[in-house]
Amino acid sequence: MANDLSDEQLRAIYAWIDAIPLSRPKKNMARDFSDGVMLAEVVAAYFPQLVEVHNYPAANNIRQKVYNHETLNTKVLKKLGFSIPRETIEDIVNAKPGVIEGVLNTLQIKMAKYRERKASGGGDDQSQREAPPQKQLNKDNYAVPESQPPRREQ
């Protein structure tokens, strides 16, 4: 994935990541992002309502790393219109050089499109839901039960 990126694109990705406050210092991109925690933090920096970072524990165990990425895929990235293929997850978890940069590049593009959709009123599932009906209040600002018609002022 990253092999398709130019040096300019890579520099832009590194500068973008450096500008985001993350919980751990960035030393080796492939290893730092292998457990999914920092990827969750990147999304949370822009869309905190989409990610509950505490659901992504730091991990050294490959099984937990894969679980973190799969959880991120199903609960968060799906809302951005993005999914990391299983093979790519395995490459990220195994800290294969250059893979995370391609994922971050795609993620940056998908987050920009998501932001545009939200700004234009497209939004996600929550914005498509119908608003709850407004409760009717009496003169003392108490909710009027739905079974009774509102009383008229005399």
Q: Using alpha carbons only, give the angle 100, 108, 19 rounded to the nearest 5 degrees.
A: 85
Question: Mean pLDDT over residues 6-18, rounded?
Answer: 94
pLDDT value at residue 20? 94
pLDDT over 60 (residue 55): yes
Query: Is residue 88 situated within a structural domain?
Result: yes
pLDDT over 60 (residue 123): no
Q: What is the CATH number of the domain that holds 100?
A: 1.10.418.10
Query: Is residue 63 situated within a structural domain?
Result: yes
Question: Mean pLDDT over residues 85-96, rounded?
Answer: 97
pLDDT over 80 (residue 2): no
Task: Name the residue range of residue 84's domain.
Answer: 28-120
Question: Mean pLDDT over residues 71-87, rounded?
Answer: 95
Query: Is residue 126 situated within a structural domain?
Result: no
Work out how many domains the chain is built from and give that number: 1
- How much is the pTM? 0.75
37-46 and 62-75 helices cross at what angle (nearest 10)? 20
Please return the burial class of 90, using the count of CB atoms within 10 Å of its CB with bins 0-12, 13-18 and 19+: middle
Query: Is residue 49 situated within a structural domain?
Result: yes
pLDDT value at residue 122? 65
pLDDT over 90 (residue 134): no
